[in-house]
């Protein structure tokens, strides 16, 4: 399992990359991070996985 | 042609100079580990293999359990059984088995940790004050020097004592561990040893159990998990959060449900909670919501190998069964 530690929180990067940024922010909102921080964590998770894995596409606004 | 068997009674009685002999035992480890010739090829390799066996998780067939340092040794070896006919010479009918009683200083928790070994038969390796590890040379398909497995000597252990002291005798209040060797042949004919000059009794420490518990009622898929060391003293909680909480959160935990908890349940994040001195474990909400109420979830912490890789040494953490 790929992990990313951000602000002391260890995130499951494989799982994070499989969902949208919006879903990630909502799911992990209980940690007390700001929305911007959660978006940053999600971005780090997506970029940490191997190139062979395709991250979930962000939903169109 | 010889007219007697005298030349065939025994064998040559010489031996190489400066060989080892059993000295005063300082520690022993119990378990089924059999060291291969590769593992005892030299002292450094054996030392590493010994420590690795001690650090294996509980339940591993090759795990070795260190006993406390020995502070007193009483030799209680059985007297040989002798007998003779009325007009005949006294003969030894049976050799006595080696029996040793070790006195150790233990806390109540340490004593309780040894009680599972009371009244059991188990192989042991003994470490003496000449830094020699004693065991027995197991037979291999080809009984060749330095290819046989190095195994523990089978003993029957009892654990007792650790009661109140009488204030006058230092021997009171200590724990006594009796070790009775089951096979005199293994002890004498197959007894063998390896020297580890760089080892000392302090290197041989048993793992401390850490127990997981829920700090408070969970909030949906978010659980608060506390890691503590069980103690006998009432009103005391040894929470390991301050020492290793952050390091634990950074390691890989797993969870499962269903038969044998074989259906993975994704953990999306693990965080530290400084207020509750706990870990915040979050499960995938979609998968969690799909579980029936009352579903059992097994949360499995990092094993001893992962803990050591994460610079957390000397501990083993048990799993916890959570309920949705």
B195 DSSP β-pair partners: B132
pLDDT tens track for B128-171: 999 999 999 987 655 566 788 999 999 999 999 999 999 998 88
Q: Which residue of A has its CA nearest to B221?
A: A27
Look at chain A and count its residues. 61
Place of tokens 């959160």: B249
Q: Do A8 and B246 touch (CB under 8 A)?
A: yes
pLDDT tens track for B192-249: 999 999 999 999 999 999 999 999 999 999 999 999 999 989 989 899 999 999 999 9
Which of B223, B224, B250, B269 should be substituted to probe chain A, the one whose Cβ sees the most A Cβ atoms within 10 Å?
B269
Tokens read off for B286: 């979609």
Which one of B222, B250, B280 has the shortest CB-CB distance to A5?
B250
What's the ipTM?
0.84
3-state helix, strand, coil in chain A (%, to 5): 50, 15, 40
Tell me how far CA of residue B226 lies from CA of B231, B242, B249, B264, B279, in angstroms.
15, 11, 12, 22, 6
Contact list in A for residue B219 (CB cut-off 8 A) is 30
- The least confident of A52-61, B174-183, B244-253, B279-288 is A52-61
B270 DSSP β-pair partners: A10, B281
Res A51 pLDDT > 70: no
Question: Which residues does B261 contact at the CB level (< 8 Å), separation at least 6?
Answer: B255, B296, B297, B298
Tokens read off for A11: 């995130």
Reduced to 3 states (helix: H, G, I; strand: E, B; else coil), residue A18 is coil
Contact list in A for residue B222 (CB cut-off 8 A) is 30
Contact B222, B289 (CB under 8 A): no
- The answer to whether the predicted template modeling score (pTM) of the entire model surpasses 0.90 is no
Cβ–Cβ pairs < 8 A, chains A and B: 42
Which of A6, A10, A23, A45 should be substituted to probe chain B, the one whose Cβ sees the most B Cβ atoms within 10 Å?
A10
What pLDDT, on a 0 to 100 scale, did the predictor assign at position B16?
81
Query: Chain B 66-85, CB below 8 Å of chain A: which residues?
Result: none
Q: Do B249 and A9 touch (CB under 8 A)?
A: yes
Nearest to residue B153, comparing CAs of B188, B118, B178, B177?
A: B188
pLDDT confidence band for A57 (50 / 70 / 90): low
Burial of B176 (0-12, 13-18, 19+ CB in 10 A): middle
What pLDDT, on a 0 to 100 scale, did the predictor assign at position B81?
87
DSSP B261-301: G-EE--EEEEEEETTTTEEEEEE-HHHHHHSPTT-EEEEE-
Q: Which residue of B has its CA nearest to A14?
A: B268
């Amino acid at each position: 399992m790929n992990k990313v530690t951000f602000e002391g929180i260890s995130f499951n990067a494989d799982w994070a990359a499989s969902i949208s940024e919006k879903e990630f922010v909502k799911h992990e909102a209980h940690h007390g991070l700001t929305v911007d921080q959660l978006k940053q964590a999600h971005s780090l998770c997506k970029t940490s996985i191997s190139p062979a894995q395709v991250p979930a596409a962000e939903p169109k606004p | 042609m010889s007219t007697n068997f005298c030349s065939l009674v025994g064998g040559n009685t010489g031996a190489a100079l400066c060989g080892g002999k059993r000295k005063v035992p300082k520690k022993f480890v119990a378990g089924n580990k059999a060291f291969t010739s590769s593992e005892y090829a030299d002292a450094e390799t054996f030392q590493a293999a010994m420590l690795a066996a001690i650090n294996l998780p509980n339940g591993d067939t090759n795990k070795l359990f260190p006993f406390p340092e020995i502070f007193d040794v009483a030799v209680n070896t059985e007297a040989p059984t002798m007998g003779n006919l009325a007009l005949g010479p006294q003969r030894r009918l049976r050799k006595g088995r080696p029996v040793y009683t070790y006195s150790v200083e233990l806390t109540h928790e340490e004593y309780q940790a040894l009680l599972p070994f009371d009244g059991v038969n188990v192989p042991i390796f003994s470490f003496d004050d000449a830094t020699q590890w004693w065991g027995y040379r197991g037979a291999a398909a080809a009984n060749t020097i330095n290819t046989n497995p190095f195994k523990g000597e089978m003993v029957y252990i009892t654990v007792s004592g650790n009661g109140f002291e009488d204030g006058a005798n230092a021997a009171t209040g200590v724990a006594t561990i009796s070790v009775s060797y089951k096979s005199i042949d293994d002890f004498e004919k197959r007894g063998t040893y390896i020297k580890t000059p760089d080892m000392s009794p302090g290197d041989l420490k048993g793992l401390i159990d850490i127990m997981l518990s829920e700090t408070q009622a969970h909030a949906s898929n978010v659980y608060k998990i506390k890691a503590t060391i069980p103690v006998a003293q009432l009103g005391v909680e040894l929470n390991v959060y301050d020492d290793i909480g952050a390091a634990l959160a950074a390691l890989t935990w797993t969870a499962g449900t269903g038969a044998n908890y074989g259906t993975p349940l994704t953990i999306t994040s693990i965080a530290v909670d400084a207020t509750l001195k706990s870990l915040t474990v979050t499960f995938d909400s979609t998968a969690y919501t799909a579980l029936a109420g009352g579903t059992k979830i097994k949360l499995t912490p990092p094993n001893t190998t992962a803990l050591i890789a994460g610079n957390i040494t000397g501990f083993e953490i048990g799993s916890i069964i959570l309920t949705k």
